[in-house]
Amino acid sequence: MTRIFSGIKPTGHLTLGNYLGAVRQWVEAEQKPDDALFCVVDLHALTIDHDPARVRRLSRQAATLLLAAGLSPDRCTLFVQSHVDEHTRLAYLLECTATDGELRRMVQYKEKAAQARGAGAGVRLSLLTYPVLMAADILAYGAEEVPVGEDQRQHVELTRDLAARFNQRYGHTFTVPRAVHPAVAARVMDLQDPASKMGKSFGEGPGVVFLLDEPEAVRRKVMRAVTDSGDGGVVYDRAGRPGVANLLDILAACTGGDPAALADGYGGYGALKRDVADAVVEALRPLRERHAELAADPAAVDRVLREGAARARALARPVVDRAYEAIGLLAP
Ligand code: AQP
C-alpha cells in the first residue's frame, strides 16, 4: 500500500479548484485509515491576517465538506493539524535544516507577502516558514505520495529537499515523498481572470465557483466566464486561449473526457459554457446534498476529527521521536 498525505487550508470556502485539483484525487485514493491521511491544516490559515472565529468555523466546514465529497473515516484518517502536536515539534527540527534563502524563493511566499504589504499589513514570519510546517505535516507520516494541485509543486519539492538533507546529515529518518497531480484540472483558473488560479481567499469573486454555491450561482458564473478574443472557434490552447482551455479542462474533469477532443464538438462559446455549467452542477450535486445532512450534526463531524487525531498521533509520534534522537537531542 502507498501511504498518502494531503491537506487543505481553512482560509475560505472550498472551491471547484480545490475539488478538481485535490479533493477528488483523495476520494479516489483513500484505502485503509493508516495509509491515507487528510488534514485540515488550520495552523497554515494563521499565516495571513485572520479572524479567529472564521478560521474555527471554516475548519469544521472544510472537514464536513471533505466527508460530503466522499472521504470515509473507515478508509482514511481525517483530522485537524493543530490537534496533533507532532507537526509543530517536527517543524522546528526542519527549520534547523532549511535556509532562509530557499524559503524566500517560494513563489507563494512572494505573492502573499506582496499582498500583505499592499494591504498595509506586516508580513507574518509564519508566512515565510509555513512550507517547513507543510514539510513536517507530510514527513511525520512517512507519506510516499502527496496528491495536490499544480500550485503546491514547489512546496513538495522543498519537502523532498529537506527530507533528503536531513537523512544525509543525521541518518535515514524520513521517506522522501513525491507530488501527484491529476491528469486534467491540476490548475483551475479564475473564470474572470484566466491568468490567475481560482483561489478561495479571493472573497466572493465572480470568477470563483464555491462548492456550496447554489446551482443558479454556478450557472451565472460559468455563463459570464471570460473567453478569449479572436474568432478561431473552440480550440484547446492553454497558452494562447487560456479562458476557453480552462472551461474545457473543467468540462473534461467533470465528464471524464479529453479537453482537446471535447473542443472539436463545439462551434461556439455559448454551447460550451452551457455544458460546462451543467457538468459542474451535476458533479457538485451529491456533495451539496450530503453536506446538508452532515452539517446538521456537527458533533458527529467533531467525533470523526477526534478519532482521526488519535490515529494520526499514534502514527506520527514514533517518526518524530526518531528525528529528535537522530538530530542529537537527549531523550527525556
Ligand atoms: N485552482 C486550483 N486548481 C487546482 N488545484 C487547486 N488547489 C487549490 N486551488 C487550486 C489545491 O487544493 C488543495 C488545497 O489547497 P490549499 O487549501 O492549500 O490552498 P488554496 O485553496 O490555494 O488556498 P489559499 O492558498 O489559502 O488561498 P488562495 O490561493 O486562494 O490565495 C491543494 O492541493 C491545492 O494545490
pLDDT in tens, 113-168: 999 999 888 999 999 999 999 999 999 999 999 999 999 999 999 999 999 999 99
Looking at the structure, tell me whether residues 85 and 68 fall in a common domain.
yes
Question: What CATH number corresponds to the domain at position 78?
Answer: 3.40.50.620
Reported as a pLDDT band with limits 50, 70 and 90, residue 61 is very high
Q: Which atom of ligand 1 is nearest to the CA of 45?
A: 26
Tell me the sheet residues that pair with 29.
none
Q: What is the pLDDT of residue 33?
A: 81
Please tell me the distance between residue 104's alpha carbon and the centre of ligand 1 in angstroms. 20
73 appears as a binding residue in the annotation: no
Looking at the structure, tell me whether residues 280 and 302 fall in a common domain.
no
Per-residue pLDDT, averaged over 16-42, amounts to 93
Q: What is the pLDDT of residue 203?
A: 67
Question: How many helices and strands in the chain, by DSSP H and E?
Answer: 13, 5
Q: Which atom of ligand 1 is nearest to the CA of 111?
A: 31
ipTM: 0.96
C-alpha distance from residue 228 to each of 24, 225, 242, 251, 331 (Å): 28, 10, 7, 17, 62
For 274, what's the count of Cα atoms within 13 Å in the CB-facing half-sphere? 5
Note whether residue 241 is domain-resident.
yes
49 appears as a binding residue in the annotation: no
Reported as a pLDDT band with limits 50, 70 and 90, residue 174 is very high
Looking at the structure, tell me whether residues 86 and 143 fall in a common domain.
yes
200 appears as a binding residue in the annotation: yes
Note whether residue 199 is domain-resident.
no
255 appears as a binding residue in the annotation: no
Looking at the structure, tell me whether residues 141 and 161 fall in a common domain.
yes
Atom 35 of ligand 1: nearest residue by CA position: 149
CA dihedral for 105, 109, 115, 118, sign (positive or negative)? negative
C-alpha cell read off for 151: 500550485
Reported as a pLDDT band with limits 50, 70 and 90, residue 34 is confident
Question: What CATH number corresponds to the domain at position 280?
Answer: 1.10.240.10
Of 4, 5, 6, 18, which is best to mutate to test ligand 1, by the most ligand atoms within 8 angstroms of its C-beta? 18
Looking at the structure, tell me whether residues 54 and 166 fall in a common domain.
yes
pLDDT at 328 over 70: yes
How far apart (Å, rounded) are the C-alpha atoms in residues 285 and 89?
A: 40
Q: What is the pLDDT of residue 141?
A: 98
The predicted-structure confidence for 84-108, as pLDDT tens digits, reads as follows 999 999 999 999 999 999 999 999 9
Per-residue pLDDT, averaged over 169-194, amounts to 96
Q: What is the pLDDT of residue 40?
A: 98
Looking at the structure, tell me whether residues 239 and 223 fall in a common domain.
yes
257 appears as a binding residue in the annotation: no
Please tell me the distance between residue 324's alpha carbon and the centre of ligand 1 in angstroms. 31
Please tell me the distance between residue 7's alpha carbon and the centre of ligand 1 in angstroms. 10
Per-residue pLDDT, averaged over 41-69, amounts to 97
Q: What is the pLDDT of residue 229?
A: 74
pLDDT at 192 over 80: yes
Q: Which atom of ligand 1 is nearest to the CA of 112?
A: 31
- In the chain, the percentage of residues whose pLDDT exceeds 90 is 89
Instruction: Using alpha carbons, select from 125, 48, 136 the residue that is nearest to residue 92.
Output: 136
- Domain extent for 38: 4-181+298-327
Looking at the structure, tell me whether residues 260 and 306 fall in a common domain.
no
Give the contacts of 145 (CB within 8 A, at least 6 positions apart): 2, 3, 4, 29, 177, 178, 179, 180
Provide residues with CB under 6 Å of ligand 1.
Answer: 8-9, 11, 17-18, 21-22, 148-149, 151-152, 186-188, 197-202
Q: Total structural domains in the chain?
A: 2
Q: Which atom of ligand 1 is nearest to the CA of 202?
A: 30
Instruction: Using alpha carbons, select from 227, 217, 193 the residue that is nearest to residue 207.
Output: 193
Residue positions annotated with a catalytic role? 112, 197, 200
Q: What is the pLDDT of residue 321?
A: 98
How far apart (Å, rounded) are the C-alpha atoms in residues 63 and 14?
A: 10
Atom 10 of ligand 1: nearest residue by CA position: 17
C-alpha cell read off for 49: 491576517
Looking at the structure, tell me whether residues 25 and 159 fall in a common domain.
yes
| Alpha-carbon 97 to chain mean position | 25
